Structure 1
Amino acid sequence: MTVQLPSQIVVERFLPTVRSMLAAELSERGFAQREIADRLGVSQAAVSQYLAGDGGREERFVEQSRMQATVERIAEGFATGRMDDYEALAELLELVRDFEDRGPICAIHEEEMPALEGMGCDLCVRGRDRAVQAEREVLSNVRRAVRAFANAPGVAAHVPNVGTNVAMALPDPADETDVAAVPGRIHAMRGGINVPSNPEFGASQHVATTLLAATTADPSIRGAINLATSDDLLAAVPESLDAVAFDAAYEDRRERLRALFADGVPGVVYHEGAFGIEPITYVLGESAVDAVDRARTLVERVDGS
């Protein structure tokens, strides 16, 4: 992974783009190339390149209506004398801050640093924040767990018809919005695994319900994955994890699970279904990665038996 600061994007992509756009606007207002060069702090040759369309514009900046409005405002201010260099700088800095706050600078930054993708990164704007850092860590853990599950052999056969989800809760979660999971769930497709999107908070209901009951009883349990219940899968559960059954009904499920976990949280809980409810097994762990590792081990034991 290449570490790149957003300031590099500002210097290498935003600045040439805004200079090119300003050069064009000032030229339309009758400024000579020498005057434009003085205003922009570049050489006259650079201005000539900008006006010829060789300035290396970043189109994602050019198409932004706020970028266009800011450039026109600065150019008009220079032309009428109502704006000086200090005021122009203030306008551009405000625009940069806006673009860094989940705007086009943020989008380009994610492309250059894939580790940021899907994390809702706002480090540039708000700095370090423990709550934000915890969210990023949870999302990152779920993404790694999902990749591990999707790449594991044999898991497709254990994905229920309703789909599988991989979830992880924040420390001290209050409700489903504090649990990250995959929107739309993970499904088996042509013998493989289809992951529809990156994890988000609040994307799971049933897996989150089970996980919230577990983490309330034992705060160290913060990860979960659901699989299809089968005799072979349950037979593969080692004594160290323990497999405990519960009633499949949705009504008051979280409260019933809390009561079940009062004497300790097992590594596996399952139900055998009911009318309109598919049999589901939940594998729990200290994180999403831990839960998936346990699930993969169960699948390997089934396939090896």
Structure 2
Amino acid sequence: MSLHLPSEIIVERFLPTVRAMLAAELDEQGLTQQEIADELGVSQAAVSQYVRGDVTVEQRFADDQRLQSTVKTIATGLATGSMDSYEALGELLAVIREFEDRGPICAVHEEEMPALAGLGCDLCVRGTDDTVEQERSALAAVRRSARRLANTPGIAAVIPNVGTNVGTAIPEASDETDVAAVPGRLQTVGSRVLVPADPEFGASKQVASTILAAMSVESDLRGAINVATNDPLLDAAREAGYEPMDFDASYENRQQRLRESFADRGSVPRVIYHEGAFGIEPITYVFGETATEATARLLDLRERIEG
């Protein structure tokens, strides 16, 4: 029996097909062949072949609506800058997992190894590691939020001098290493907001401790962002129906004090703030189910102020 690994199908059939489809989509989006080559990690000559259709594709993959939709999403994201290569890989890996689960990759693999036919082969499908998936989801939420903040005009006005951070905890987080945030915080340079690094777990002590305090009362409230405290923001929160809660700025036992305050209320206010102290800048926290929702809530408050 000839031995062919499922990964060979992915490398030899799936990836060339995806590259050809992406090249065609990016060409339609108006990117130059060199720009497409840079995005796909191939030569300009290879892109020329892709665009002309001078490559062999696996038609079972190319005709699949799931892959067609994913390719369009990735191409649009890469062309507009709303998606990076990390997120593009995530989208493609999701398709690969579906294709391996009695899908087109499985069908091609059975053709390459006829002995597998009819065996209900599950070489590729062993279930997902929940912990890994949760961590990926948390990192992705922080990544999306940081990019959205960096691309929002005028957002620098709410970034405190010490910088802003945004975080997401995995479900059932127990300590700061279970909370993803941006190392070094988001910083302003003039009117721009810079994201210094990709998100990591354990990157922000203050945001993590605040999220953990919130989760002790509302376990689904796993995201938060911290910004500068100012009256217009607090007024906008009240207008939106979020009565802001003030708390002591001291770092000493802050997480425990917040836990007790939230427990006494029986819920977590979506906006909390402090007025600062000696050496401590006034900061406001906005909560959400993840960093994505927390950031969306903050930007909604900003729109209310501007409106």
TM-score (norm 1): 0.60
Per-residue CA deviations over 1:218-241 (Å, capped at 9, x if unaligned) read 001011000000112111113522
Counterpart Cα distance in 1 of 2:200 and 2:85? 19
Between the aligned residues of both structures, percent identity stands at 52
* RMSD value, Cα: 2.7
Number of aligned positions between the proteins: 200
1:303 Cα shift? 2.4
Provide the secondary structure at the position in 2 that maps to 1:272. Answer: coil
Q: Does 1:280 align with 2:283?
A: yes
Match of residue 115 from structure 1: 89
* Partner AA of 1:115 in structure 2: L
1:7 Cα shift? 3.9
Per-residue CA deviations over 1:83-138 (Å, capped at 9, x if unaligned) read xxxxxxxxxxxxxxxxxxxxxxxxxxx96974349x9xxx99x9720110111111
Sort the Cα spacing of 1:113 and 1:226 in 2 relative to 1 into closer, same or farther, 3 A. closer
Does structure 2 retain, via aligned residues, the 8 Å contact 1:169–1:178? Answer: yes
Q: Report 1:140-151 matches (<5 A).
A: 140-151=140-151
Match of residue 297 from structure 2: 294
Q: Report 1:203-282 matches (<5 A).
A: 203-238=203-238, 240-262=241-263, 263=265, 264-282=267-285
1:6 Cα shift? 5.7
Per-residue CA deviations over 1:3-56 (Å, capped at 9, x if unaligned) read xx96468659xxxxxxxxxxxxxxxxxxxxxxxxxxxxxxxxxxxxxxxxxxxx
Q: Report 1:3-22 matches (<5 A).
A: 7=8
Q: Report 1:41-80 matches (<5 A).
A: none
Q: Report 1:83-94 matches (<5 A).
A: none
Sort the Cα spacing of 1:150 and 1:232 in 2 relative to 1 into closer, same or farther, 3 A. same
Match of residue 180 from structure 1: 180
Provide the secondary structure at the position in 2 that maps to 1:302. Answer: helix
* Partner AA of 1:268 in structure 2: V
Counterpart Cα distance in 2 of 1:221 and 1:6? 39
Provide the secondary structure at the position in 2 that maps to 1:232. Answer: helix
Counterpart Cα distance in 2 of 1:232 and 1:112? 37
* Partner AA of 2:196 in structure 1: P
Counterpart Cα distance in 2 of 1:113 and 1:192? 23
- The structure whose Rg is larger is 1
Gaps (5+ residues) in structure 2? 1-5, 14-41, 43-83, 98-123
Match of residue 91 from structure 1: none
Counterpart Cα distance in 2 of 1:112 and 1:150? 17
Counterpart Cα distance in 1 of 2:245 and 2:209? 16
Sort the Cα spacing of 1:138 and 1:112 in 2 relative to 1 into closer, same or farther, 3 A. closer
Match of residue 135 from structure 2: 135
1:210 Cα shift? 0.8
Provide the secondary structure at the position in 2 that maps to 1:140. Answer: helix
Per-residue CA deviations over 1:248-285 (Å, capped at 9, x if unaligned) read 00000000000110121000000000000000000001
Match of residue 101 from structure 2: none
Provide the secondary structure at the position in 1 that maps to 2:245. Answer: strand
TM-score (norm 2): 0.60
* Partner AA of 2:185 in structure 1: R
Per-residue CA deviations over 1:129-175 (Å, capped at 9, x if unaligned) read 01101111111111112122222222110000110011001101111
Does structure 2 retain, via aligned residues, the 8 Å contact 1:283–1:294? Answer: yes
Provide the secondary structure at the position in 2 that maps to 1:197. Answer: coil
Sort the Cα spacing of 1:214 and 1:111 in 2 relative to 1 into closer, same or farther, 3 A. closer
Gaps (5+ residues) in structure 1? 13-57, 59-109
Match of residue 84 from structure 1: none
Counterpart Cα distance in 2 of 1:8 and 1:146? 36
Match of residue 159 from structure 1: 159
* Partner AA of 1:177 in structure 2: T
